[in-house]
Amino acid sequence: MEKEFTYQQTLDLKNKLKAGTFKRELEFFNLIDQGYEPDQVKKILDNLLKSHKDDLFIEAKEAEKAKERDKISFAAVIIISALIGILGGNNGLMILVSVVAACMCGYWSSPENPIPAMTGYGIGAFLMPIFCAFYLKGRNSYFSIEILIPLLFSFGPGLLIKYLLSLLMPSDQE
């Protein structure tokens, strides 16, 4: 008669897998000593390893999606704030629109820990129109590449603050 393998035992073995202390042969003999049949133990360990591989695959896919969301939202923030800066929207309402859009993009990019992203993107979006106005003041023409100068001066501090806040405020999932 086959003995029932409990959920807690499965969690213990999965924790050993995550910690890197899982030894298949050792666990095989431990389970046989606990009264399990060798065929049942082989099946349990095979299912456990398959489940662990599936979990790792899902985690990798989620990390890839999060990285993609972060890239898309950062590009959107740069485009929105650069357009407002280039088109001369230095009134308070346009800067507010830029900051609100940046905060929304920051929340979308990392919903598990939104405060650092919202703050960093918001600071960059606030500074970008101001730095564009100062840099392009009194000029009739400029090269497209010159927009990178106010971009670096505005989003440099914003991304630094985002990084520092993400170190100080780790998400619950870490």
| 53-99 pLDDT tens trace | 999 999 999 989 989 999 999 999 999 888 887 776 667 888 898 99
Segment 35-64 shows an average pLDDT of: 90
3-state SS, residue 132: helix
Q: Do residues 128 and 85 lie in contact, with contact meaning Cβ atoms separated by under 8 Å?
A: yes
pLDDT (0 to 100) of residue 163: 92
Segment 22-43 shows an average pLDDT of: 88
d(CA 158, CA 78): 12
| 105-142 pLDDT tens trace | 999 998 888 999 999 999 999 998 888 888 877 777 77
pLDDT (0 to 100) of residue 89: 65
| 142-172 pLDDT tens trace | 777 888 888 889 999 999 999 999 999 877 6
pLDDT (0 to 100) of residue 38: 87
Q: Do residues 90 and 137 lie in contact, with contact meaning Cβ atoms separated by under 8 Å?
A: no
* Residue the block writes with tokens 């003999």: 29
Burial class, 140, CB count within 10 angstroms (exposed 0-12 / middle 13-18 / buried 19+)? exposed
Give pTM, 2 decimals: 0.71
Token output for 88? 């001369």
Average confidence score pLDDT of the chain: 87
131: number of Cβ within 10 Å: 19
pLDDT (0 to 100) of residue 172: 65
Higher pLDDT, 47 or 146: 47
Nearest to 131 by CA among 82, 76, 80: 82
